[in-house]
Each structure stands twice: as structure tokens, then as C-alpha cells.
Copies of this chain bind each other. A is one copy, B any other.
């Protein structure tokens, strides 16, 4: 099937594989600017950073919200980067749209059709993560909720499905990369951080993703993963991220 190429500023997603990197959540201005400085020095232009975080427990850190959006604005004024951040509520689409270059719909909201339609009315690209137990068909139909409203910048993201296995946080379904390419025109990236939940597996699975044709990977990076406010156990530290880039370049 003819494949879409989605433009994010100067970057094209759907041609050469891209790397999207950044912290799970934005934890403060200095930390995030430092992270961006590091990533930018490694050639990364597509940066992830959570402002609104959907957390299983209401007692977990929920993200800095609007404060994080201001930090993103600041970082973008200092570095020539494009930022993607998650939206959880149709009423937040407008404020995230104003600041970010791409919107993200998380796994928990893949079937939040009100949100999908609201994002479908925007003219910025969107990363649509696969629901935790969504079939590939359901995922593609969720994408149509966006596309039908006019937004053609859909990028799918495989992030692992829920199975009985407990060694990994999820089971990364790389065959979904091939299936999506067979069945639809959307670019598809892979998130080996959530897909495995284990730092030690991220690089290997990123390589596998690219090997089977993924249009990119999205990974969590943190200067001190063990002190991260969320997802530390699956975040690469800086030297781990450099290793990832080296290994991907040598593919």
C-alpha cells in the first residue's frame, strides 16, 4: 500500500527511520532543558516530554500540566526541536496544540473517540498509540476517527500489548509493524521503553523494530533514571542512549 509521509517541520516520518527521545514526564525546567541540550547534541530533533500523564493510580505523579507546557515553550525557544506531548482530554487539545508540534494519544485513550475526533480537527501530526489489548483492526479504525475529521498526519505507535507474561511490562508485538504496513498507509513507530518496561531490553528491541521496517522508535531517556518521577526502570540514561544511537547507525 502507498505509504504516507508525515512532516513534522523539517523532519519526514515514513521515509528513513527516526528517533524520538526524551523523558517520560517533564519534571522541571532545568532538568528538561538539560535533557534537550543533550539530545540535541546527539542530533535528536524530535523530543518527547509528558505534561499531562495518565497514571493508573490517582496517587502517582500526574505530570506538571500547564507548567510543563511553559517549559516546552522555553526549550523550543532555545533549541531547534519539535516536541510531542500527550493529550488526555478534548478540552486540553487547544493548549497542547499551541505549544507542541505533534500530539500524542496514549494507550489508555486509543478508544476515547471524543478525543480522537477533536484531534482530527487539528492540523498537526498525531502519534496514536495502540491500546493495551487492541487488535490491529481496532487500532486502524481508531485512526480513521482522526483521519475522517480531516487530519491526515496519523503516525501509529506499537507499545506492547497485555499478555500473561510478567517478566516484561508488556509484550512488544513487532509483527504489528509488518501488519500495519500491509493494511494501511500510516507510518508506524515502536516504543521499546513501554513495550518491555526494562532498560536492559530497550536497545535490542529498538534494533529489531528497525530491522522489520518500523519508521522509527520512541524511547525514554533520563539523566538519572533511578530518580525519575515516572518510568525510571525503563528509561535509558545518557550513555545508554548513545549506545542505542551507535547500534542503530550500524544496522
Interface residues of A (CB under 8 A from B): 54-58, 88-92, 108-109, 111-115, 131-133, 135-138, 141, 144-145, 148, 161-168, 171-175, 177-179, 182-183, 195-196, 200-201, 204-205, 207-213, 251
In the complex, chain B residues whose CB is within 8 Å of the CB of A91: 90-91, 114
Q: For A115, what are the chain B residues with a Cβ–Cβ distance below 8 Å?
A: 112
B200 and A204 within 8 A (CB): no
Partner of A208, one of B90, B92, B208: B208
**Complex Cα–Cα for A195 and B190 (A):** 19
A148 touches B58 (CB 8 A): yes
21 contacts between A and B (CB under 8 A): A56-B138, A57-B141, A89-B114, A91-B114, A132-B133, A135-B166, A162-B164, A164-B164, A165-B173, A166-B166, A168-B179, A172-B173, A174-B205, A174-B208, A177-B204, A204-B211, A204-B213, A207-B211, A207-B212, A208-B208, A210-B211
